[in-house]
């Protein structure tokens, strides 16, 4: 399948993407994970992105498009992909449209996961992430803590609160989302690709997608 996942930070895009990859071998492409990996590895990309990310601001469109142009041409995308956290702005959506036309790739849908703001705020302040760049497993101190506090179940690395998950940065990320990313819902409606799912259950989203693309 070839999908864009839309929705505020904390709406569950990453969780849904991981469930969907199991259905047909599509890969999850998370620009946030790619950027955090680059910051930890200290690459040029990471150095350019770090300050924007820490403040809860978006990384400039040119950097993101450079990453995506390469990533979408890697062989593992042949079975499909789930774009998680990209596009985030109208210019990114337009650039993506051009890129997909160039690569002769059609999208199945842009899925908007619509979750109430109170739920989002609660999820983000209680979210914890594995600090190992190649793992980045997600936990929640209330609903899904690691078996040993502060230690990743999967790889044993420390589980931490992300720099951009302080209350101040979270509120900034939600404002940025409303201003820059929420307009994509209308954009994809006009493109005839929008599928909206209002739920706090990742399984509901997965079932709606399965139905839509006939899996
Ligand atoms: P979220 O939980 O906010 O969806 P992500 O892991 O997707 O978090 O992104 C973390 C940060 O990485 C964002 O706040 C932003 O600074 C940067 N980022 C990720 N994807 C993009 C993108 N497509 N365009 C611009 N910045 C991005």
Task: Give residue-wise pLDDT tens across range 86-130.
Answer: 999 999 999 999 999 999 999 999 999 999 988 998 999 999 999
Q: Which helix (H) or strand (E) holds 27?
A: strand 27-30
Q: How far is the CA of 214 from the centre of ligand 1 (A)?
A: 30
User: Tokens representing 98?
Assistant: 């051009």
By alpha-carbon position, which residue is closest to atom 5 of ligand 1? 32
Closest CA to 136 of 22, 16, 35: 35
HSE-CB for 167 with a 13 A CA cutoff: 1
Q: Which helix (H) or strand (E) holds 83?
A: strand 81-84
User: Tokens representing 54?
Assistant: 């820490």
**Structure confidence by residue, pLDDT tens digits, 154-190:** 999 999 998 888 888 888 889 999 999 999 999 999 9
Pocket test for ligand 1, best of 85, 121, 160 (most atoms within 8 A of CB): 85
Q: How far is the CA of 7 from the centre of ligand 1 (A)?
A: 12
71 is catalytic: no
pTM metric for this prediction = 0.88
Atom of ligand 1 nearest to the CA of 124: 2
**Structure confidence by residue, pLDDT tens digits, 6-37:** 999 999 999 999 999 999 999 999 999 999 99
């Amino acid at each position: 399948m070839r999908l864009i996942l839309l929705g505020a930070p904390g709406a569950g895009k990453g969780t849904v993407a991981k469930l969907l990859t199991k259905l047909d071998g599509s890969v999850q492409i998370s620009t946030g994970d790619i950027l955090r990996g680059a910051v930890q590895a200290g690459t040029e990309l990471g150095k350019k992105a770090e300050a924007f990310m820490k403040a809860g601001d978006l990384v400039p469109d040119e950097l993101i498009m450079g990453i995506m142009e390469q990533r979408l041409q890697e062989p593992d995308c042949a079975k499909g992909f789930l774009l998680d956290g990209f596009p985030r702005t109208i210019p990114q959506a337009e650039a993506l449209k051009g890129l997909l036309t160039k690569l002769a790739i059609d999208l199945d849908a842009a899925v908007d996961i619509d979750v109430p703001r109170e739920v989002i705020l609660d999820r983000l302040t209680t979210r914890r992430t594995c600090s190992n760049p190649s793992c980045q497993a997600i936990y929640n101190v209330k609903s899904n803590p690691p078996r040993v506090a502060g230690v990743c179940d999967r790889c044993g690395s420390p589980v931490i609160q992300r720099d951009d998950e302080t209350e101040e940065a979270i509120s900034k990320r939600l404002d940025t989302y409303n201003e820059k990313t929420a307009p994509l819902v209308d954009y994809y409606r006009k493109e005839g690709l929008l599928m909206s799912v209002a739920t706090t259950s990742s399984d509901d989203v997965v079932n709606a997608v399965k139905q839509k693309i006939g899996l």
